[in-house]
Amino acid sequence: MAKETIEVLIEGGKATAAPPLGPALGPMKVNIGKVVSDINAKTQSFKGMQVPVKVTVDTVTKEYTISIGTPPASQLIIKEAGIKKGSTNPSSDFVADLKMEQLIKIAQMKEDAMLGKGPIERVKEILGTCRSMGIMVEGKKAQETLLDINSGKYDQKIISGKTELSATELKEQEEEMMKMQEEIKERRDEFLATANQILKDMAGKDRHDIEVKMKEAEVPTEIMLEVMPEEEKKPETKKETKDEAPAPAKDKK
C-alpha cells in the first residue's frame, strides 16, 4: 500500500483547511473537513501551543491516521502554571507552585516521549524540569518534593492517575501565585536599589570592577544589564597592511 505523510505545526484545537494543512491534504483526495475535525479533537488539550501533527494517508483507500506530538515539557508546565516564562533565578526566585495532580497530567501528556518506564519515574522527570524553571511543587522546592516522592508519600496519588484539582485547590493555587508574584516584585525592587546604589558609589570606576561588585551583591544578570550604561564603542583605527606603504614625507622648503 502506497502511503503519503505530511507533517505540520498546528495551534492546539485550531486546525483549519487553510495553509499549511489544506493545500497539503488536497492532492491526497481525503475528506479535509473530517481530518481537520479529528486533529482538533486530538489537540484540544494543547490550546495556545504549537503542536506537531503527522497525517499519514493511504493513497488507495484514502484512510488516514493522525499522530500528535507534544510540546516540550517546559511549555506544558508554563501553560499549567499560568505564567509567561520560567524564573531567571530558579534557585532563589520561584514563579509558580504546582500541585502533584498537575505534574501527573503533564507526565501523562508526555508519556510517549519520556524515558521513565512507570508513572512515578515520569513524574520525577517533570519535577526535574520544574526545578530548572523555578517552579515549586506542593508548596516546596522541587528537590524537597523529590524526597517526598522517594519516600513513597505520593505513590498512591501518582499511580491512581488523578489529574483534576478541586475548586478549593484551584483557589489556593491562585492565592499562592499572587503571593509569589508580590515577593518576586519586592526582590526585584531590592536588587534594583542595590544595583543603583553600587553605580552611584562607584561612579567613574572601571566597568569590570562595577560588575564584580554587583555579582558579589548577588544582583541578577538581567538587572545588572538593565542598569549598566551601554559600553562606548572605541573608534576603529586603520591598520597598515603589507601592501600599503606609508605616505612619503613632504620636503620642507
222, amino acid identity: E
Q: CB-hemisphere CA count at 13 Å for 208?
A: 0
Each residue's pLDDT tens digit, 60-94: 999 999 988 888 899 899 988 988 899 888 888 88
Each residue's pLDDT tens digit, 134-176: 999 999 999 999 999 999 999 999 999 888 888 888 888 888 8
Strands ordered across the beta sheet of 3-11: 3-11, 50-58, 64-68
Percent of the chain with pLDDT over 90: 45
pLDDT of 37 reads: 94
Instruction: Name which of 161, 178, 171, 52 is nearest 103 in CA terms.
Output: 161
pLDDT of 70 reads: 80
pLDDT of 77 reads: 93
Q: CB-hemisphere CA count at 13 Å for 59?
A: 8
Q: Report yes or no: 70 and 76 within 8 Å, Cβ to Cβ.
A: yes
237: pLDDT strictly greater than 70: no
243: pLDDT strictly greater than 80: no
Reported as a pLDDT band with limits 50, 70 and 90, residue 100 is very high
pLDDT of 63 reads: 92
Q: Which of 80-84, 124-128, 141-145, 194-198 has the lowest mean pLDDT?
A: 80-84
- For residue 26, with 0-12 CB atoms within 10 Å meaning exposed, 13-18 middle and 19 or more buried, which class applies? exposed
pLDDT of 244 reads: 55
pLDDT of 230 reads: 76
Residue with the larger pLDDT of the pair 208 and 253: 208
pLDDT of 163 reads: 85
Domains located in the chain, CATH noted: 3-68 (3.30.1550.10), 73-165 (1.10.10.250), 175-227 (no CATH)
pLDDT of 48 reads: 79
Give the mean model confidence (pLDDT) for residues 21-28. Answer: 90
pLDDT of 220 reads: 84
> What distance in Å separates the CA atoms of residue 120 and residue 159, rounded to the nearest whole number?
7
Which are the contacts of 33, defined by CB distance < 8 A and separation ≥ 6?
A: 17
112: pLDDT strictly greater than 60: yes
> What distance in Å separates the CA atoms of residue 55 and residue 57, rounded to the nearest whole number?
6
Reported as a pLDDT band with limits 50, 70 and 90, residue 43 is confident
Q: Indicate the pTM of the whole model.
A: 0.60
Dihedral of CA atoms 50, 56, 62, 63 in degrees, nearest 10, equals -90
What secondary structure, in 3-state letters, does 155-205 show?
A: HHHHHHCCCCCCHHHHHHHHHHHHHHHHHHHHHHHHHHHHHHHHHHHCCCC
pLDDT of 1 reads: 57
Give the mean pLDDT of the chain: 86
